[in-house]
Structure 1
């Protein structure tokens, strides 16, 4: 890896824009095939989002990953890439270089070392071995296509000098809009527009949701409270923890469904998805009718949450005194708690971007642009958005592999 600009780059097979998951995998796979590529990275180091993923531990794939775990205007588009590079390919690749996986929640694989730096090191070491240069602090200012391929104008951010580099092919793996403080930009989208490529609507995904208005204080007082729940809308449901925050709702189940949520829609939350709260109340009150509803609920929820339910439920009544109407209200609130989010926390807090380069513009088999031969798009900037838990990495590895086979 180098942060130093050589006097010239010659005999390049391709230039890769972005040394993230997709770009790094593409460079390494190109190296296996004897192809020489140059990676340009705007950040000071490669793999910035890899390093922060999974709390710095990097859930690098998901054992259950398939095209069904991805959102796209064309739900079939990713099938080809996932057939060419499977989850087992990812597992085997990392095991070859000493990274073994440990399964956590719902198929997520983390390295046994629990250190994302080890994932990045695999790629940077291999790039060194293959002679694939990574130039950091490199901002691409312009991409032009000509009869020989592409000519790039690139600024060295450490010296402010501008360089011109040419290659027959260009791979755009610059990611999406989330986490701008880590260097995320709309570069891929701007480039697509420059070449008159269609885009699907973009939005933050895997993102916390906000609650405002008269209910805000109620959510705020519960900040830090986590409850295993089933969160649903008309499209899909997820069973994982939700987390109350001072701005609204977060936690795995909320992040998951946020990718399917649209402004103005309501979400239904089952706060006790594995059993019927009414059945358990009926059973309890035959044995201990004098027990207060609050005491009963504290078997399943924190005292803070039960106290907050006082606004909606008669928690100071004993179980024997609960009326039919009381029971109906309890069932409605616990199993069909409804929230209408005001919005989301935006790209600063989103893990990925939904939407991007319209898949109709790309070959599903090669990820090459149909209109602009030699121009490829991979990773997050394409309209393929995965669930939470390693799925988006699997798409990044797969798309990087596919592109490398075709440059």
Structure 2
């Protein structure tokens, strides 16, 4: 074991992801020196895989309404101090020009997440910040005089370093192969902070039982859909898979779904199937129900509807009961997921360090001076589409102003 007797660091940051990297760079701009401990062999592992390797690095429409948390308003202070405009300006200053895709999502024009990570690697060097990769934090102890001792392992050798400011930016539980762990949550509990219940979020949902084969047979089919439950509603594409449902709308609703609950699919959100049927009837109603549905869905999806609907019946021949059933199936298709695909398929973790233990202006633990929590380990879960990155940048920034 080695012990660093001379500590030149103003802060030790555990985690070299979005929050940790932003924190280190912003601290460097203030003339502070930080040590970033990253357990992977390179920083920004989740940045590199986000958006299919393109990195949706913010969302133009970010507000606290786009977050799932016990106290969403907690993020207001951070978002007022580091805004979406600040994110855009920061990356533009370092060569990253954004382009808006759907629903306010901003991607680099280069479509490369590597460019985002390279910004931080370059700035870390410029401001003299130290990054140690392949370095896994093992434990944290509080010393006298408000200092912390961090034990970490690098290539089989255990080291210890002390610091007055300790930043927990080690992320959440997704994705294990990228080095995800509950370390930040364990440290929080160690120092008396409670943790809101955690679960996979922005995650595909699984279907089992009698309808499993029906969903599996539609694997690969994508359709615009409004997915809702009692808590939320999202209108984007859904994707049928061999094991259930995925796609943007499903990932979004998953953050609001709890095991045992139903979700409702409106498979034709921008039309009224009842009005379409009435229009067909006025024109003679010679077409079949399946032909009408074929105006909106793939042949395979229409054929699968045979299980629920009279697709071979002429529209003119539909009974009131038939028309009512069609309306219910198309606009109120109820699904009871069996579960989700777990942390390895989840974009983020729901829950985390309870925000009532943290100061909103600095993200410091109220009762543990010098201990900070930022990014995904905090109970602040954004929607799909760049919101979680905006929280990571903002939380990294405000912590950097305090260390």
Normalised by the length of structure 2, the TM-score is 0.98
Per the alignment, do residues 101 and 278 of structure 1 end up closer, same or farther by CA in structure 2, a change over 3 Å counting? same
* Paired residues for 1:333-344 under 5 Å: 333-344=329-340
Structure 1 runs (4+) deviating above 4 angstroms are 5-9
List alignment gaps of at least 5 residues for structure 1.
Answer: none
Per the alignment, do residues 251 and 319 of structure 1 end up closer, same or farther by CA in structure 2, a change over 3 Å counting? same
Please state how far the C-alpha of 1:287 moved relative to its aligned partner.
2.0
Aligned residue number for residue 70 of structure 1: 67
The correspondence for 1:232, drawn from 219, 222, 228, is 228
Aligned residue number for residue 44 of structure 1: 41
Aligned residue number for residue 56 of structure 2: 59
Conservation of the 8 A alpha-carbon contact between 1:70 and 1:386: yes
Conservation of the 8 A alpha-carbon contact between 2:17 and 2:169: yes
1:387 paired with 2:401, answer no
Q: Deviations over 1:194-241 (max 9, x none)?
A: 112111100000001111111111111011111101111111100000
Please state how far the C-alpha of 1:243 moved relative to its aligned partner.
0.8
Conservation of the 8 A alpha-carbon contact between 1:285 and 1:291: no
Aligned residue number for residue 148 of structure 2: 150
Aligned residue number for residue 163 of structure 2: 167
Aligned residue number for residue 23 of structure 1: 20
1:302 paired with 2:298, answer yes
- Report the count of equivalent residues: 401
Conservation of the 8 A alpha-carbon contact between 2:14 and 2:37: yes
Q: Secondary structure at the match of 1:77?
A: helix
Equivalent-residue separation in structure 2 for 1:293 and 1:61 (angstroms): 43
Over the residues paired in the alignment, what is the CA RMSD in angstroms? 1.2
Equivalent-residue separation in structure 1 for 2:5 and 2:289 (angstroms): 76
List alignment gaps of at least 5 residues for structure 2.
Answer: none
Conservation of the 8 A alpha-carbon contact between 1:173 and 1:378: yes
Q: Secondary structure at the match of 1:92?
A: helix
Equivalent-residue separation in structure 1 for 2:253 and 2:367 (angstroms): 34
Conservation of the 8 A alpha-carbon contact between 1:207 and 1:350: yes
* Paired residues for 1:3-402 under 5 Å: 10-148=7-145, 149-156=147-154, 158=155, 160-402=156-398
Q: Secondary structure at the match of 1:113?
A: coil
Conservation of the 8 A alpha-carbon contact between 2:195 and 2:354: yes
Per the alignment, do residues 288 and 14 of structure 1 end up closer, same or farther by CA in structure 2, a change over 3 Å counting? same
Please state how far the C-alpha of 1:319 moved relative to its aligned partner.
1.2
Q: Secondary structure at the match of 2:345?
A: coil
Normalised by the length of structure 1, the TM-score is 0.97
Q: Deviations over 1:4-57 (max 9, x none)?
A: x99775221000000000000000000110000000000000000000000000
Tell which deviates more after alignment, 283-292 or 190-199: 283-292
Conservation of the 8 A alpha-carbon contact between 2:16 and 2:38: yes
